[in-house]
Amino acid sequence: MSDEPEVLTAVAAGVRIVRVSGEFDFDAAEELARALTPLPHDAPTGTVLDLSQVTFADSSFLHVLLQAESQHQAAGIPLLLSQPNPSVVRLLEVTDTARSFTLVDSVTAAASAARAMSTDGRGDG
């Protein structure tokens, strides 16, 4: 697996799936921020961020996640973090921010949860 940061975005059944891999630091944060920004014309029922292939994440990565969570809440769109790699889990634990996010075991479960949250009206933060 390459340590170069990569951000791939797709939409499946109305849910934006953002898959990230590699090392994320200040230099890679902007690309991730763009991928996670809710767009008014896009209007997905939710966003799932697949963190299973992240090998390194620093405070700039965490800042992007917190900013994205806030933007999603303001837009009424659920943001779910899927399969966080141990390095990401450690970052969330050390900074006591894990409770700020919805963590889910798989991308499929997260996408289903996002659709359910949107349908239930719970995605409006």
Tens-place pLDDT, residues 29-46: 999 999 999 876 766 789
User: Is residue 33 assigned to a domain?
Assistant: no
DSSP three-state, residue 21? strand
Query: Structure pTM?
Result: 0.89
User: Is residue 125 assigned to a domain?
Assistant: no
User: Is residue 91 assigned to a domain?
Assistant: yes
CATH at residue 68? 3.30.750.24
User: Is residue 97 assigned to a domain?
Assistant: yes
Query: Residue 123 — very low, low, confident or very high, per pLDDT cuts 50/70/90?
Result: very low
| Residue recorded with tokens 């405070």 | 59
| Structural domain of 95 | 40-107
Cβ burial 8-28 (10 Å sphere, 16+ → b, else e): eeeeeeebbbbbbbbbbeeeb
Q: Total domain count for the chain?
A: 1
- Asked whether the predicted pLDDT for residue 121 surpasses 50, the reply is yes
List, in sequence order, every beta strand (DSSP E) within the chain: 6-12, 15-24, 46-57, 79-82, 102-104
Write the CA distances from 31 to 34, 52, 115, integer angstroms: 5, 18, 25
**Strand order through the sheet with 79-82:** 6-12, 15-24, 46-57, 79-82, 102-104
User: Is residue 26 assigned to a domain?
Assistant: no
